[in-house]
Amino acid sequence: MAIHDRRTFTLALAHALSAAEHGLPVIPLSATKLPALRSPHRDDDRPSQCRGACGLPGHGVHDATTDPVAVRALFEAAPWASGYGIACGRAPHHLIGIDLDIDTTGRNDSVAALRQLALHHLFTIPPTVTVLTPSGGRHIWLSGPPGVAVPNSAGRLAPGIDIRGTGGYLVGPGSSTTHGSYRLVPGTGSLPPAPCPDALLQLLTPPPRTHRRLDHSDDRGRGLVRFVLAAAEGQRNTRLFWAACRAYEHGFGDSLANALTEAAVRTGLPEHEARATIASAARLTTTRCEPPG
């Protein structure tokens, strides 16, 4: 191992041990931000559901630990590690990561989107640990209540805002990757992860969707759902808009909206985009609808 790589490894281990000392379960990461240790079941004939019960390392976030002896053992097994991941959703902090991406096209401003959500839902992000990413984005650390599982998501809350929750992990500050280093925002490293505001927590943990069974006599509704499900890439938004227009024209748009949304999501359309398209159809529907240009 080159001197520079040894220094990178040593720094990553030191930062990981410090995080573990503060109650944050960690795993070693490679320069690609992926878990550094490969699965011990990679050559199995059948997919393995093991999450570490076999006692071998290589189970991703399920290896995460705060035990310094175990942390050192994980890193010793991965001397190429250049960073570390922090498991979210685990006691004692039940960490929730708000990942604000930077859109190089300039079309989506994740910081502004979070600010708009805060204004609309009446919450503020308290002072808390904040990490700068190599791309210029930010990871905001919050703590959740015990017993509440926050799901991981990408863009569901708003474009450019990803959520790291139970089963996910954040790249820890002090990690080196192929794109650069992760570092703390000055003045936030001494702060504990602040409690997630209740209003934001409600947005992050939406109640289970109730699936309305369409009346068997409502062939039109089932047909529109099938029409959306048959959409190929490049047709998804247009087909969804057309189907929503037909539904609203015939007076059952609101009752079909959830089924249309679910169908669109199954074709690969983000949920927030699907709901925005349906809302647009509801506003714009007249005696004749044309897809928006």
Domain residue limits at 112: 88-207
Residue where a domain terminates, one of 54, 86, 118:
86
- pLDDT the model gives residue 102: 84
- pLDDT the model gives residue 208: 57
> What pairing do the DSSP bridges indicate for beta strands 138-143 and 130-132?
antiparallel
Phi-psi region of 23 (alpha: psi -120 to 50; beta: other; left: phi over 0): left
Please indicate, yes or no, if residue 213 is contained in any of the structural domains. no
The answer on 66 and 8 residing in a single domain is yes
The answer on 68 and 22 residing in a single domain is yes
Please indicate, yes or no, if residue 212 is contained in any of the structural domains. no
Residue where a domain terminates, one of 156, 184, 207:
207
Total domains in the fold of the chain: 3
Low-confidence stretches of the chain (pLDDT beneath 50): 1-3, 210, 213-217, 286-293
The answer on 100 and 12 residing in a single domain is no
Residue where a domain terminates, one of 68, 86, 104:
86
- pLDDT the model gives residue 248: 83
Is 260 in contact with 224 (CB distance < 8 Å)?
yes
